[in-house]
């Protein structure tokens, strides 16, 4: 039995270790993965090389075709480029759709950018394009060996004229074929400029058509009639106009509210003017009825009645006594000047001027509305209004920007009339729009609006001057009783004279000292 081996001790020492087997398997897997990675990398490099080769082929094809699509005049000068023809021929020659799409997008973007530029910019680009073409074309008359030196001598002059010479390699081959390639690029640029000009003109025509359409739709609007016909705020028409405007100040359309509010301010000025004239007539009748020249003299001095009203109502003896009493009451008083002052004050032009001014500066007027509307625009992103058309287009939309644009249009019209002495113009309206469409911080915008308010107040002060009739009719515009009452005490009094007085919203009296309101 001793010779029989024990089964438990019968171990095959030649069998592989399971741990070694697993390690070898993992190592083999890593080797396989590395091989696959290298294989994928090689495939990727191959595809990348193929892509590069295709791109290079596309460029060569486009380069060979581009010179065939340069357009020239009868003298051989480059005038443009047949881009659509190039795209068509390139597609037929096997240029990839991706390359052609990219070219078309870049072409369209270049036209869009230049169409948005002003005409002077486009003309300048055209001039530079022509200058570069003439410089390159002049090289054809020289032997090829002399061309590089001639071009290098021309570069400083080209740069002074604004030509971008960075596209010219220092060691460029300047044989005829290369010059043709350069000219093809200039032809493309010339065509882009021509297409941009056409696009700009089309945009302008479309804007005008939209404006004409809007104006046609507005012709029947009572608001439009009031904006263009001053007689709507005179005589028997005034009460009806005011009633209509009162019904529109709470309209659901922000643009209508802005227009109605502004027009209502003008209507109220006209109403006050008419009431003043009626009061003048009653005062004259009363003075004449009493037969007191001294009472008539007081009315003459403070601008309540005109000398002509006294003359036409009583005998010359009474008028003369009244004039003499007026001169005694106020030395230097002159009947001729008083009559002229009265005629100036009662002019319809004054109603238009003061109506526009008060619609701007009155509490709750256009300037206050602009400040409030700006706060509602997210991030304070006030749109830039480079033209009246820009503001009109913005006002036809909805939301806070449309509301701001509607108010800005009314502001621009009134501000233009005030600064123009009663007459507005599209140029000054555009300038006014640009004042309130600047990229400003809230503090800067508030200061800008106060500056505008001060400029309007200065115009009011200048217009009233020493005319007692105007002072009586419109003096409340200057004392800031209503317009700038929220700024007292210590508030700025921009545009007002030192020593000018006013009544604050608290009922107290204030005076302008050092450019601010101070308690008297």
The neighbour count for residue 331, using CB atoms within 10 Å, is 6
pLDDT in tens, 216-275: 555 567 887 887 777 788 777 888 888 888 888 888 777 777 778 778 877 887 777 777
Question: Contact, 163 vs 128, CB < 8 A?
Answer: yes
Provide the 3-class DSSP secondary structure of residue 500: coil
Residue 39 within a domain: no
Token pair belonging to 369: 């509305």
Q: Are residues 184 and 155 in the same domain?
A: yes
92 and 207 assigned to the same domain: yes
- Residues 449, 339 share a domain: no
Does 150 reside within a domain? yes
pLDDT (tens digit per residue) in 152-206? 888 888 888 888 887 776 677 788 888 888 878 888 888 888 888 888 888 777 7
Q: In sequence order, what DSSP letters do the residues of 35-99 get, joined into one string?
A: HHHHHHHHHHHHHHHHHHHHHHHHHHHHHHHHGGGEEE-TTS-EEEE-HHHHHHHHHHTT--HHH
How are beta strands 509-513 and 78-81 bridged, if at all? unpaired
DSSP string, 172-235: ---SHHHHHHHHHHHHHHHHHHHHHHHHHHHHHHHHHHHHHHHHHHHTT-HHHHHHH-GGGGST
Question: Coil, strand, or helix at residue 492?
Answer: strand
At residue 495 the predicted structure's pLDDT band, cuts being 50, 70 and 90, is very low
Please tell me whether residues 520 and 426 are part of one structural domain: no
**Percent share of the chain, pLDDT over 90:** 0
| Beta sheet of 501-503, edge-to-edge order | 501-503, 509-513, 516-519
Give the pLDDT confidence of 387-416 residue by residue, as tens digits. Answer: 777 887 777 777 888 888 888 888 888 888
Q: How many domains does the chain have?
A: 4
In a domain, 514, yes or no: yes
Per-residue b/e over 388-425, b at no fewer than 16 CB within 10 Å? bbbbbbbbeeeeebbbbbbbbbbbbbbbbbbbbebebe
Q: What is the pLDDT of residue 486?
A: 41
Residue 497: the pLDDT is 55
Mean pLDDT over all residues of the chain?
76
pLDDT recorded at residue 33: 62
For the residues of 105-172, what is the DSSP string, one character each?
HHHHHHHHHHHTS-HHHHHHHHHHHHHHHHHHHHGGGS-GGGHHHHHHHHHHHHHHTT---TTS-TT-
Backbone angles phi, psi at 502, to 5 degrees: -165, 160
pLDDT surpassing 60 at residue 322: yes
Question: Model's pTM, two decimal places?
Answer: 0.47
How many beta carbons lie within 10 A of that of residue 269, not counting itself?
25
CA distance 229 to 220: 13
Residue 23 lies in a domain: no
How many C-beta atoms surround the C-beta of residue 483 within 10 A? Answer: 25
Which pLDDT band holds residue 34 (cuts at 50, 70, 90)? low
Is residue 299 located within the same domain as residue 447? Answer: no
Q: Which of 6-10, 107-111, 206-210, 495-499 has the highest mean pLDDT?
A: 107-111
Q: What is the pLDDT of residue 9?
A: 36
Q: Are residues 338 and 423 in the same domain?
A: no
Domain match, 436 and 494 both:
no
- Picking from 166, 187, 213, the residue at the C-terminal end of a domain is 213
329 and 358 belong to one structural domain: no
Q: Do residues 191 and 93 both lie within one domain? A: yes
260 in the same domain as 363: yes
CB contact at 8 A, 469 and 480:
no
Return the closest-CA partner of residue 319 out of 282, 286, 287. Answer: 287
For residue 85, give its domain range: 78-213
With respect to residue 58, please indicate whether it lies within any of the assigned structural domains.
no
Same domain assignment for residues 389 and 507: no
Q: What are phi and psi of 34, to 5 degrees?
A: -60, -40
Looking at residue 499, its pLDDT comes to: 63
Work out the end-to-end distance of the chain between its first and last CA atoms, rounded to an integer number of angstroms. 138
- On whether both 423 and 441 belong to a single domain, the answer is yes
Residue 24 within any structural domain of the chain: no
Element (H, E) at 295: helix 293-301
- Tokens 């089309």 locate to 202
């Amino acid at each position: 039995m001793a010779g029989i081996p024990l089964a438990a001790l019968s171990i095959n020492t030649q069998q592989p270790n399971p741990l070694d087997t697993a390690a070898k398997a993992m190592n083999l897997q890593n080797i396989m993965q590395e091989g696959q990675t290298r294989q994928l990398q090689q495939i990727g490099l191959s595809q990348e090389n193929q892509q590069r080769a295709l791109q290079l082929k596309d460029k060569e094809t486009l380069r060979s075709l581009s010179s065939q699509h340069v357009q020239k005049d009868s003298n051989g000068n480059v005038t443009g480029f047949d881009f659509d023809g190039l795209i068509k021929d390139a597609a037929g020659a096997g240029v990839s759709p991706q390359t052609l799409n990219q070219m078309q997008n870049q072409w369209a973007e270049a036209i869009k950018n230049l169409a948005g530029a002003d005409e002077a910019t486009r003309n300048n680009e055209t001039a530079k394009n022509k200058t570069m073409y003439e410089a390159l074309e002049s090289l054809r008359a020289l032997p090829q060996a002399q061309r590089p030196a001639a071009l290098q001598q021309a570069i400083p002059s080209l740069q002074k004229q604004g030509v971008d010479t960075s596209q010219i390699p220092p060691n460029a081959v300047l044989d005829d074929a290369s010059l043709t390639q350069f000219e093809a690029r200039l032809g493309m640029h010339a065509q882009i400029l021509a297409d941009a000009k056409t696009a700009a003109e089309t945009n302008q025509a479309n804007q005008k058509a939209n404006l004409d359409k809007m104006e046609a739709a507005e012709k029947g609007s009572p608001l439009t009639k009031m904006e263009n016909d001053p007689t709507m705020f005179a005589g028997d028409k005034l009460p009806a106009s005011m009633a209509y405007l009162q019904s529109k100040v709470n309209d659901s359309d922000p643009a209508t509210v802005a227009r109605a509010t502004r027009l209502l301010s003008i209507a109220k000025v006209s109403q006050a003017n008419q009431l003043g004239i009626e009061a003048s007539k009653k005062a004259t009748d009363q003075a004449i009825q009493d037969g007191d020249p001294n009472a008539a003299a007081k009315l003459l001095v403070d601008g309540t009645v005109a000398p002509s009203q006294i003359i036409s109502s009583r005998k010359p003896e009474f008028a003369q006594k009244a004039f003499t009493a007026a001169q005694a009451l106020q030395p230097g008083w002159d009947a001729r000047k008083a009559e002229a002052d009265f005629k100036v004050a009662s002019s319809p032009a004054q109603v238009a001027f003061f109506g526009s001014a008060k619609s701007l500066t009155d509490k709750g007027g256009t300037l206050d509305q602009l400040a409030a509307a700006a706060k509602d625009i997210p991030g304070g992103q006030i749109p830039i209004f480079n033209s009246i058309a820009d503001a009109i287009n913005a006002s036809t939309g909805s939301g806070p920007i449309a509301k701001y644009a509607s108010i800005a249009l009314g502001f621009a019209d009134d501000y233009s009339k005030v600064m123009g002495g009663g007459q507005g113009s599209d140029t000054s309206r555009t300038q006014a729009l640009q004042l309130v469409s600047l990229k400003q911080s809230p503090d800067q915008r508030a200061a800008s609006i106060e500056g505008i308010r001060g400029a309007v107040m200065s115009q009011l002060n200048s217009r009233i001057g020493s005319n007692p009739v105007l002072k009586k009719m419109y003096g409340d515009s200057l004392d800031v009783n209503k317009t700038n009452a929220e700024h007292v005490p210590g508030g700025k009094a921009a545009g007002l004279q030192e020593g000018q007085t006013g009544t604050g919203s608290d009922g107290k009296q204030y005076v302008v000292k050092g450019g601010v309101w101070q308690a008297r």
